[in-house]
Amino acid sequence: MRRYYVGLKDGGKRETFRSAETPTEGSHGRLYLAVIGPFKTRRGAEFMAEYGGGNPHLQCVDDAERIARRRAAE
């Protein structure tokens, strides 16, 4: 099953991607400095990628999933 992750690139850029395997330094290290995830939904991953940098309200995957779900319901 392919799951959603957020990859952190040089310069602070964040990118949402899917992977069937758990990202490791060997598999994704050439692309990303760090990886956040796995996320349950694409919406949660995209929310973290967009608003997660330096945001004290988004400390973990569950925070992003919960807030993104709330915003979608508004």
pLDDT digits (tens, 9 = 90+) for 1-34: 899 999 999 998 999 999 999 999 999 999 999 9
**Closest listed residue to residue 61, CA positions, set 46, 23, 70, 10:** 46
Long-range contacts of 29-33 (CB under 8 A, 24+ apart): 31/7, 32/7, 32/8, 33/8, 33/9
pTM here?
A: 0.93
Q: Assign 3-state DSSP to the chain and report helix, strand, coil percentages, each to 5.
A: 40, 25, 35
* 3-state SS class at 7: strand
How many other C-beta atoms lie within 10 A of the C-beta of residue 3? 16
